[in-house]
Amino acid sequence: MNLVILDNGASTIKAGTLSSHEDAKLVPTAIVRSKGDKATYFGHEIARCKDYASLHYRLPFEKGYVVDWDAQKAIWDGVFSDQVLGVNTSESSLILTEPYFNLPNIQQVYDQFIFEEYEFLSYHRCTPASLIPYGTLFEAPGLPQPQCMVVVDSGFSFTHVVPILSGRIVWGAVKRLDVGGKLLTNQLKELVSFRQWNMMEETYIMNDVKETCCYVSTDFTKDLETIR
C-alpha cells in the first residue's frame, strides 16, 4: 500500500509519497488562462506557459477555504496523474492538510471527494501544525522534543500562531492574522504600480519577483542604510 502526502495550500500544493526518495513536488493551486495563446493551464501545467503577462486566474480557494471544487478536483487530477506523482488512488492511503477552523460542510465535501471520486483506501485530514511534532525537526542527537511549542504558519491568505502542548493543538489559544502571501503580493503590485509601471494585472510576475527578491531582514537598520 502506498501512502500519499498532500499539503493542500491555497497557493501551492506540496505533494509526495512515502515510498519516494524524491523531494516533494510543488504544484500551483490555480488554473490560469494565457492572454497570448488563449490556452488554459491546470496546476502542474502552468510551468509550460510561454507568456505570463496578464494571466487570468481561477483559484479553488477564497479567504483560506475551498469554494470551487471543480477547480480543486482538476488540479488534484493532475497531481495524482503520471505527470506528477503517478499514483493509483484506489490502492493508496492519503494524508491531507486542511485549513485551520475548517467548516464542517467543507470537511464533508473533502471526505466525499477522497472516498467517492478518488476511492482512497483510507485517509487522515489534519492541519499543517498538527504534523510538526512528528517531523524531523527534533531528531538531532541530544535534543529532546519539547512539551510545548509554538508554530507560526504563514500561508496564502492568513498567518496562524498555533500553540502545541504534548503534541496537541491548544485550539482556544490559536490566533489568526489576516496577513499572508496574497496580501504581500498585492502590496508589492501597488508599490511598483504607483512608483514605476502599472503592474496591477501582472499577478504571476509580481509574485515571482516577491519570492525571488524579498526576504525577512535580520538587521532592519543595516538593510535600510544599504538601500539608502
**Integer angstrom CA distances of residue 61 from 70, 71, 98, 194, 200:** 11, 9, 11, 28, 20
Q: Which grid cell sits at 171? A: 485550539
10 Å CB burial of residue 161 (0-12, 13-18, 19+) is middle
pLDDT tens figures, 126-139: 999 999 888 777 77
Q: What is the DSSP letter of 43?
A: G
Q: Residue 196: its pLDDT value, please?
A: 82
At the topology level, CATH places domain 2-126 in Nucleotidyltransferase; domain 5 (3.30.420)
pLDDT tens figures, 184-193: 999 999 999 9
pLDDT tens figures, 58-83: 999 999 999 999 999 999 999 999 99
Q: Residue 48: its pLDDT value, please?
A: 86
Q: What is the pLDDT along the chain (228 residues), one digit of tens a residue?
A: 789 999 999 999 999 998 877 788 999 999 999 887 788 999 999 988 888 887 889 999 999 999 999 999 999 999 999 999 999 999 999 999 999 999 999 999 999 999 999 999 999 999 999 998 887 777 777 777 788 999 999 999 999 999 999 889 999 999 999 999 999 999 999 999 988 888 888 888 899 999 998 888 899 999 888 877
Q: Residue 177: its pLDDT value, please?
A: 94
- C-alpha 167/C-alpha 135 separation (Å) is 11
CA end-to-end distance (rounded Å), the chain: 58
Global pTM reads 0.86
Q: Residue 226: its pLDDT value, please?
A: 86
